[in-house]
Amino acid sequence: MAELGQEGREFAGIDRRRLQTDLRENLRNHRFLALLAKDAGDTPIGVLTLSVSFALHAGGEYGVIDEIYVLPAQRNRGVGRKLVAEATAVAKERGWFRLDVTGPGNSADRRVLHFYEQLGFGFTGSKLRLLL
């Protein structure tokens, strides 16, 4: 998780103390899960975060893959696929009818889009954001 925090500009300016408090609360309420992939030596090599969302048009609760990160040295070895498979199993276990993930923000990262399409995800359009 520490390496994930170093990955993008989105983490700049985040109040780490508040983040830890929010994380604990969401874990306690089962509104957020972190699925961890480990190597044979029990060392973490990847993480997928999954949160619960709700929408009438989705038929109630559904899951959202918020983040997926695999250590660079472990990429292209099926770790990401296994994490998504585990997230799918959790979604089915909870009775969700869908699992969403936001695709890459630009067409240059076609590799990420292809990864999700191979796993059965279909592109449904863009996601917009308002920073507060």
Q: Where are the alpha helices (DSSP H) in the chain?
A: 2-7, 16-28, 79-93, 110-118
Domains plus CATH for the chain? 2-118 (3.40.630.30)
- What's the pTM? 0.81
The tens digit of pLDDT for each residue in 3-23 reads 554 555 556 678 888 888 888
Question: Residue type at 125?
Answer: G
Neighbours of 6 (CB within 10 A): 7
The tens digit of pLDDT for each residue in 67-103 reads 999 999 999 999 999 999 999 999 999 999 999 998 7
Question: Residue type at 123?
Answer: F
